[in-house]
Structure 1
């Protein structure tokens, strides 16, 4: 699943890679923060450590993919940004 998310983000970001990268760091931070929230919620609901760790790792991978894409977030709609943050 993680590989699919990273591949999807890379494919989504590839056409945008030449856009200059404005805001990609902030968008990457949002992805990591979102994963932390999801991990905290899973932990509060009794998920085991492996599940919580995987959620966090997936968020870090999404953040890395977003940052590596060098995407110009000004060229993305809110929906596109949210999709990248959430791994959709």
Structure 2
């Protein structure tokens, strides 16, 4: 009888441990799953932000290229205007020199 009571107690203890182990394992699985979901969400957010940064950088590069193109066109216009002004000044100077060198009638 004594052996039956000891065996029953051991069996009951084993079932208790098994139940605790299952509960602990379930809790551990739930925590690991939650951590994996959180990590997945953070990785997805990081990827989205990296994608947005890439798009922003691309937009900034396009804006800079457009600004450089506009600045080049403005510089070319300014050079053309300066060349036109220099040509007109040279023509005016030549005309003034021609007026000064015209033969004047000699007084008799």
> What TM-score comes out, normalization by structure 1 length?
0.29
Give the greater-gyration-radius structure (CA). 2
Larger helix share, 1 or 2: 2
Indicate the structure whose relative CO is greater, using CA pairs within 8 Å and at least 6 residues apart: 1
> What TM-score comes out, normalization by structure 2 length?
0.24
